[in-house]
Structure 1
Amino acid sequence: MRKSFDGLCGLVGSELGRNPTGGEVFVFLNRKRTHIKLLHWEHGGFVLYYKRLESGTFPLPKNTLSGGISWSDLILMVEGIEVVKSNRRRRFSPSK
């Protein structure tokens, strides 16, 4: 968790093969899951959000293996809310 803007951008480009200025939010957790960093590109520069928990850990969302998490899952993770059971209703999605 020592990396700042440039180090995290390097990780995003080299390890993930993604463009750090693409507008996505990149989530970094330490091994104990007590520290979280969110890296995001906004118009004009990067934003780095850092949170350290004094007790407890950040829960991992269930669908992290699929390559991304939804905005609502990210908010729940940062707030420390773990959803044990939920039913997601089908919503309209335009075909790509």
Structure 2
Amino acid sequence: MPENGSAPISAFTNAANPSAPLRLCGAPHNRKGHDGLAALVKNELHRNPFTGAVFVFRSRKADRLKLIYWDGSGLVMAYKRLEEHTFTWPDIRDGLMTLGHAQFEALFAGLDWRRVRAVEARAPTAIE
């Protein structure tokens, strides 16, 4: 079991699959690169890293993130380090947690993503 542990979101969304999920991974990334993170996704998290889903990993200190996703032609990896703060990281069970796009944007910006809530709207009853 894995250990718990300001670019726009469009930069990390597969253009061929913009609704692909964003998954937070409990395992710290340490010094892993593209292949090491893809192997971790496949072998420890039992997911396919080549689906277009974005997998987000943190460092042990929670001040750095690495993201990987398959864009249809290659494996993309991005890295972010916060200078004076840490990322708000959830208690991840079973190795993975799925975030919405707005929550991920808050996390990536160094904000407390738990405070991001979707606006509830009722469907209209009539169309004019």
Structure 2 equivalent of residue 50 of structure 1: 79
Identity of matched residues, %: 37
Task: Decide whether aligned partners of structure 1 residues 20 and 85 sit closer, same or farther in structure 2, where only a CA change above 3 A counts.
Answer: closer
Deviations along 1:74-96, whole A, 9 cap, x unmatched? 1110101225645531577xxxx
Computed over aligned residues only, the root mean square deviation of the Cα atoms, in angstroms, reads 2.4
The total of aligned residue pairs comes to 91
Structure 2 equivalent of residue 81 of structure 1: 111
Q: Distance in 2 between matches of 1:51 and 1:87?
A: 24
Q: How does 1:1-96 map to 2 (within 5 A)?
A: 1-60=30-89, 65=93, 67-82=97-112, 85=115, 87-88=117-118, 89=120
User: Quick one: higher RCO (CA 8 Å, sep 6+), 1 or 2?
Assistant: 2
Deviations along 1:6-47, whole A, 9 cap, x unmatched? 100100001110000011000100121101001011020011
Whether the aligned pair in 2 keeps the contact of 1:37 and 1:50 (CA below 8 Å) is yes
Task: Decide whether aligned partners of structure 1 residues 50 and 91 sit closer, same or farther in structure 2, where only a CA change above 3 A counts.
Answer: farther
Q: Give the secondary structure class of the aligned counterpart of 1:16.
A: coil
One-letter identity of the residue aligned with 2:35: D
Note the residue ranges of structure 2 that are not aligned, 5 or more in a row. 1-29, 124-128
4+ runs of 1 displaced by more than 4 Å? Answer: 83-87
Task: Decide whether aligned partners of structure 1 residues 20 and 91 sit closer, same or farther in structure 2, where only a CA change above 3 A counts.
Answer: farther
Task: Decide whether aligned partners of structure 1 residues 55 and 40 sit closer, same or farther in structure 2, where only a CA change above 3 A counts.
Answer: same
TM-score normalised over the length of structure 1? 0.80
Q: Distance in 1 between matches of 2:102 and 2:49?
A: 21
TM-score normalised over the length of structure 2? 0.62
